[in-house]
């Protein structure tokens, strides 16, 4: 749902809220839960993916959760079935924390220059063993499901769990800038 709980003094009016209403403390091997944003290839050509000049991407966001521990963000290249994951830690329960992750540019496989889904940003919230039993892929690689969300805590293991997200910004380069507020 949408919430008005936001980090103080940052200019945000709303956040995304995941409120666990049915607990799943032991997800089946194939179970998973993600929050995803999909980008069209025609809007990503400036990244020069698939060339020796491929741009890095930096993701910044604010997160607040009941559950602390390791969480995974993933970039999934839909066009070329490739992915890269980065871990971040929620250090304090029920506290807004700003996170910044940088993903290397990918010199393999260009995005299609069309309005089809080319890149998917995944915030993992829970992952069964099919997607968490390998070694986390922290460099661009062909997709191996077991390596996509290794170490992810289970935000769905208790009905008292909540997960909030706001101020998500994905930009080219290796540093994050202040959040760019744009009119809708």
Sheet holding 97-103, edge to edge: 2-3, 15-19, 162-172, 57-65, 97-103
Hey, what are 129's tokens? 């063993």
- Which residue reads 């208790």 in tokens? 158
The closest of 162, 142, 165 to 59, measured between CA atoms, is 165
Hey, what are 53's tokens? 């000049």
Helix (H), strand (E) counts: the chain: 0, 10
pLDDT of residue 183: 87
pLDDT of residue 121: 98
The closest of 136, 156, 176 to 32, measured between CA atoms, is 156
DSSP-derived letter for residue 45 is: G
Sheet holding 117-127, edge to edge: 32-40, 117-127, 69-77, 82-90, 141-142
pLDDT of residue 184: 81
One digit per residue, the tens of pLDDT, for the chain of length 184 reads 999 999 999 999 999 999 999 999 999 999 999 999 999 999 999 999 999 999 999 999 999 999 999 999 999 999 999 999 999 999 999 999 999 999 999 999 999 999 999 999 999 999 999 999 999 999 999 999 999 999 999 999 999 999 999 999 999 999 999 999 988 8
């Amino acid at each position: 749902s949408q919430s008005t709980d936001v980090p103080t003094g940052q200019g945000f009016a709303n956040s995304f809220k995941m409120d666990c209403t049915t607990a799943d403390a032991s997800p089946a091997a194939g179970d998973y839960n993600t929050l995803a944003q999909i980008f069209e290839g025609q809007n990503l050509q400036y990244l020069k993916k698939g060339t020796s000049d491929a741009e890095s991407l930096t993701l910044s966001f604010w997160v607040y959760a009941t559950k602390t521990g390791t969480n995974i963000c993933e970039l999934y290249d839909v066009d070329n079935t490739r992915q890269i994951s980065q871990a971040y830690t929620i250090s304090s329960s029920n506290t807004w924390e700003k996170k910044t992750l940088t993903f290397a540019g990918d010199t393999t496989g260009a995005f299609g220059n069309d309005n089809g889904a080319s890149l998917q940003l995944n915030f993992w919230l829970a992952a069964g063993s099919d997607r968490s039993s390998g070694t986390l892929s922290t460099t661009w690689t062909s997709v191996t499901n077991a390596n996509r969300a290794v170490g992810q805590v289970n935000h769905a293991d208790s009905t008292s769990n909540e997960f909030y997200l706001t101020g998500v910004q994905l930009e080219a380069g290796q540093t994050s800038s202040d959040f760019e507020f744009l009119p809708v």
